[in-house]
Amino acid sequence: MSATPRDLDGKTIVVTGAGGGLGAGVLEVLRARGATLVTPTIDEVKLDDEAQVVAFYAKVGPLWASIHLVGGFAMRKLVDTSLADFEQQWWA
């Protein structure tokens, strides 16, 4: 078995929503490849507040990527999802 490539050494990546199941997997892969990870919480920065987002990214420094996994989830078929259910996922 070959070693994981370290092609992300020295590259800073912001990952929002890192606390969820998908986020954990993404962090594991990025960490194994050498990325420097920044994982803000909802308490640190409100993603719907432009001033907070701008201030947050200004502190991060040189950025290679920003991955956004934040959002809601509803376990049902798409055809059984109402518009209200769908819109609630944006604010979950």
pTM score, whole prediction: 0.74
**CATH 3.40.50.300: does it fit domain 12-88?**
no
Write out pLDDT tens, residues 68-78. 887 767 777 88
pLDDT, tens only, 18-72: 888 888 999 999 999 999 999 998 788 877 788 988 999 999 999 999 998 877 6
Give residue for tokens 């991060």. 60
3-class secondary-structure state, position 38: strand
Domain boundary assignment for the chain: 12-88
E strand segments, the chain? 12-16, 36-38, 65-68
pLDDT (0 to 100) of residue 77: 84
Residues 16 and 41: beta-carbon distance below 8 Å? no
